[in-house]
Amino acid sequence: MTEPSADTPTTRELRNRPLLAVHTGEMKGKTTAALGTALRAWAAGLSVVVVQFVKSGRWRVGEETAFRALGRLHEETGQGAPVEWHAYGQGFTWTRTPAGAPDPRTTAVQAWGEVRRRLAEERHGFYLLDEFTYPMTWGWVDVDEVVETLRSRPGFQHVVITGRDADPRLVAAADLVAESVKVKHPMDDGRPGQKGIEW
């Protein structure tokens, strides 16, 4: 049996390496899966921040309500960890941007700048960058710069990115990549989204 070399990381060291995960693919459930991981992170005492790059703050989702309640629970009892939720988007690109609303490209760049600052400051243990693949796909933020920032982030900070069409460079940099593939969807039969399921 070969003895491990001095350079071989121990199981403990491997377990304590922060992960970069990407949830991509055409099917629904990418954000939902990532929020399930965020829930585990909160229970483990990791400070959680959710940054939504596309979804508008006008669209209240059940997960936001639940995570804000968990943040209040932490403040009141010390259970779990702090939670922040930031919706920087103006809605999907096929939704008309209200007159006078900030340019979505500018807003996405500002949101990424804020994430970079927080990573440099090691502000959180868990980052969910929701629908962040879209600003990369649309050329609003530089993919190489994103990848380098995430690869060189200090300390112990997990990052999960969601959205369709993840750039191959992001996929290559990630530790975990999950692709959601549609097999069947009720909307194919004309059934609309339902409260408690889609939002």
CATH for 55: 3.40.50.300
pLDDT of amino acid 1: 58
Number of residues that this document lists for the chain: 199
Query: Is residue 183 a part of any domain in this protein?
Result: no
Residue type (1 letter), 21: A
In a domain, 177, yes or no: no
pLDDT in tens, the chain (199 residues): 556 566 788 888 777 899 999 999 999 899 999 999 999 999 999 999 999 998 655 556 789 999 999 999 999 999 999 999 999 875 444 345 555 566 889 999 999 999 999 999 999 999 999 999 999 999 999 999 999 999 999 999 999 999 999 999 999 999 999 999 989 988 888 888 888 777 7
C-alpha distances in angstroms, 40 versus 34, 47, 116, 138, 180? 10, 11, 23, 31, 21
Nearest to 74, CA basis, from 82, 84, 85, 64:
82
Which pLDDT score is estimated for 58?
58
Taking the C-alpha atoms of residue 199 and residue 197, their distance in angstroms, rounded to an integer, is: 6
Query: Are the CB atoms for 129 and 159 separated by under 8 Å?
Result: yes
**Residue at 119 is within a domain:** yes
DSSP annotation of 198 reads T
Question: 3-class DSSP state for residue 128?
Answer: strand
Tell me, yes or no, whether 191 lies in a domain.
Answer: no
Beta strands 176-180 and 158-162, pairing class: unpaired
User: Does any domain span residue 187?
Assistant: no
Determine whether 28 is exposed, middle or buried from the number of CB atoms within 10 Å of its CB (0-12, 13-18, 19+). middle
The domain containing residue 157 runs over which residues?
A: 14-93+102-163
Predicted local confidence at residue 44, as pLDDT: 97
Report yes or no on 9 lying in a domain.
Answer: no
Write the DSSP symbol of residue 178: E
179 in a structural domain: no
Residue 110 contacts residue 116 (beta carbons within 8 Å)? no
Residue 63 lies in a domain: yes
The total domain count for the chain is 1
Which pLDDT value is given to residue 101?
63
Q: What is the pTM of this model?
A: 0.88
Could you tell me the end-to-end alpha-carbon distance of the chain, in angstroms, rounded to an integer? 54
As a whole number of Å, the CA-based R_g of the chain is 18
| pLDDT value for 193 | 80
Nearest-10 Cα torsion for 66, 71, 74, 77: -70
Percent of the chain that is helix, strand, coil (3-state, to 5): 40, 20, 45
